[in-house]
Structure 1
Amino acid sequence: MMKVGLLGAGRIAGVHAKAITSHPKSTLVAVSDYLPEAAQKLATQYGAEIRTTEEIIADPGIDAVLIATSTDTHCDLIEAATAAGKGVLCEKPVDLSLERARVCQESAARNGKPVMIGFNRRFDPNFGALKTALEAGEIGKAELLSITSFDPAPPPVAYIKVSGGLFRDMMIHDFDMANFLMGTAPVSVLAVASSIVDPQIGAAGDVDTAVVTLTYADGRIAVIKNSRRAVYGYDQRVEVLGSDGLLQAQNMLENTVVKSTTQGVMGAKPTYFFLERYMPAYTAEWTAFVEAVTEGGPVPVSLDDGVAALAMAEAATRSAKSGQSVRLADV
């Protein structure tokens, strides 16, 4: 039985706590948070202890930690936990600073313990099926990838101010998905972005609407579209055009009922947000981590993957500001 410490007790930590305690080969031992009442609530709910982060990392009886704290703490905690001999599953992104993330990458490699980054969308069964079909050559060679990711509503401006920006906070999932599907990183990134959903987001120095074009060494192209507002629900679609056909992963809907009358044809909206859309992916993600730690195999989403996606976010940020394409090698 893998004993786990959960660092952080916010909304996403609750999702992970459920996955940890539901798995037959893992148990939640302790929870920490800078708000003791939040840690106490989550610990009580899942039968764990409340401890400090330092106590959890120092405990030799804890095999792994799940990091669900603020982004600016991720690297310090990854380094401390791996130095203490623990496996790590860390929420994205690795850090807000690419330079700091690369230092962490080197440190964790020296410590030699598994570090997995929480790009849960790789474990979505629909995207997974698309990946399997693509690798099987069912549409020939992939030539054009399109990723759509629209949130139903923007987050509070207070969150925007500490998020690192749309490219690091939101689109970073799509950068990783592009790497996952295309099998490699692009050579250049071109971003166009603006703040048209909420003027307060622009006043905070961020954008809420963006389109990024990725160009690959062999001529393939990927296009990523993000918006902080889609009034009809959480829009999550992937499309790959290949030399022999097309693959599409469509939205998950609230239900599958379609009404057809003389007035027209109407169906349900997409599920509202990520908790409704991606719960199966979070469960599969945790299962993959447990298997990697207990069986000694490689993690399916490595710290290297996390740094690669962060580099693309950095390139997109620079491109949006300059209006010029940015070579990934230059970041």
Structure 2
Amino acid sequence: MTSLTIGIIGAGRIGKLHVDNLKKIPQIRIKSVSDVFIDHLESWAKEKQIEVLTSDYHELLNDPEIQAVFICSPTNTHATIIKEAALAGKNIFCEKPVSFSVEETEEALAVVEKAGVKLQIGFNRRFDPNFRRIQTLVKDGQIGQPHILRITSRDPEPPGVDYVKASGGLFMDMMIHDFDMARYVMDSEVVEVSAAGAVLVDPAIGEAGDIDTAIVTLKFANGALGVIDNSRQAVYGYDQRLEVFGAKGAAQADNNRPTTVEISTAESVTKDKPLYFFLERYTQAYIDEVSEFASAILENTEITCTGFDGLQAQKIAKAAKESLEKGAPVQLKQAAPVI
């Protein structure tokens, strides 16, 4: 295959970002975009040279020219569209999570497996050069047997309450990225989850039934331990740090900053704040994830972040919520990869 024709389902912030990044790949043709609010997208679609604009995503699935679709619509639509796209013979890129229900996700993955199409889940942090470097160091044994994983992930400001209500909660919406990162970096499945959470940023988040501050501890099948801390508000910027400590040493990934300049005077030592939010921090990761998805189809190679990876992160998120509610650790059964 020398070229790839793509359709985008959902043209919100992330859908538009994928369009911009796919435009950087010469072999890609973005033929169609579907969105329920199509009337507001005409000038944008014209600027991006989108050939077809529609409010009905089925038009993309029924188009024989389209070989792959990007599902960037709300989470509660993902599983249904995945199944329909797979049955239509389309390769699929789907934003996380696949669904809010493990059973629904498993059903969607079974349809994908039977159809024989490729499915990639949008855990973009796997493609960050810093985190990839640490994953390689761990896999190559340069840190020795991993003992402790530490992930810090804090947003610069909390989302609106309407978003919180539809998000699936902090574990499913926010920390799910860190759950995937934990499995990816440690190359081991999580077997036990313990969660603690609080409402310390915005009382309205608590009134909506969620938390805005959390710490989760993990036990891995390889014997290692992990700790993840999340907050919906870090006043100094987007705080994204990771460390793996092992028998031979440790590797850390610090925050990305506008510059690496450090100013030292008699009064203080200062440096730039972290980049403000995810679109800045993970610019290259977003580009690389869509590029590798396209390459996997064009060259018929393996997907980097599979449906199975999406399912496992979702199971950890579910276990974290259960642990928070019960006030006790929750065990996870290991499963063999299927997609």
TM more than 0.5: yes
Given that 1:95 and 1:101 are in contact with CA atoms closer than 8 Å, whether structure 2 keeps it comes out as: yes
The 5 A counterparts of 1:36-75 are: 36-48=38-50, 49-51=52-54, 52-75=56-79
Secondary structure of the 2:108 match is helix
Given that 1:238 and 1:250 are in contact with CA atoms closer than 8 Å, whether structure 2 keeps it comes out as: yes
- The 2-side partners of 1:225 and 1:180 are apart by 17
**C-alpha displacement of 1:41:** 4.2
Partner of 2:177: 173
Moved more, 90-99 or 39-48: 39-48
**C-alpha displacement of 1:300:** 0.7
**C-alpha displacement of 1:308:** 0.5
CA, structure 1 residues 307+12, in 2 after alignment: closer, same or farther (shift >3 Å)?
Answer: same
Partner of 1:321: 325
The 5 A counterparts of 1:128-277 are: 128-277=132-281
Structure 1 residue 94 and structure 2 residue 91: aligned? no
- The 1-side partners of 2:238 and 2:63 are apart by 40
Gaps of 5+ in 1: none
- The 2-side partners of 1:98 and 1:208 are apart by 23
Given that 1:14 and 1:42 are in contact with CA atoms closer than 8 Å, whether structure 2 keeps it comes out as: no
Given that 1:31 and 1:42 are in contact with CA atoms closer than 8 Å, whether structure 2 keeps it comes out as: no
Q: Which of 305, 309, 314 in structure 2 is aligned with 1:305?
A: 309
Q: Cα deviations across residues 157-177 of structure 1 (Å, max 9, x unaligned)? A: 000000000000000000000
**C-alpha displacement of 1:195:** 1.0
**C-alpha displacement of 1:184:** 2.0
Q: Cα deviations across residues 108-163 of structure 1 (Å, max 9, x unaligned)? A: 11111000000000000111111111212111111100000000000000000000
Moved more, 94-103 or 312-321: 94-103
- The 1-side partners of 2:20 and 2:159 are apart by 24
Q: Which of 287, 291, 300 in structure 1 is aligned with 2:291?
A: 287
Aligned-residue identity in percent: 44
Letter in 1 for 2:107: V
- The 2-side partners of 1:108 and 1:184 are apart by 24
Aligned residue pairs, count: 331
Letter in 1 for 2:26: P
TM value normalised by structure 2: 0.95
Gaps of 5+ in 2: none
TM value normalised by structure 1: 0.98
Partner of 1:28: 30
- The 1-side partners of 2:280 and 2:67 are apart by 30
The RMSD of aligned alpha carbons is 1.3
Partner of 1:77: 81
Partner of 1:119: 123
Q: Which of 106, 112, 125 in structure 2 is aligned with 1:108?
A: 112
- The 2-side partners of 1:261 and 1:230 are apart by 26
Structure 1 residue 2 and structure 2 residue 4: aligned? yes
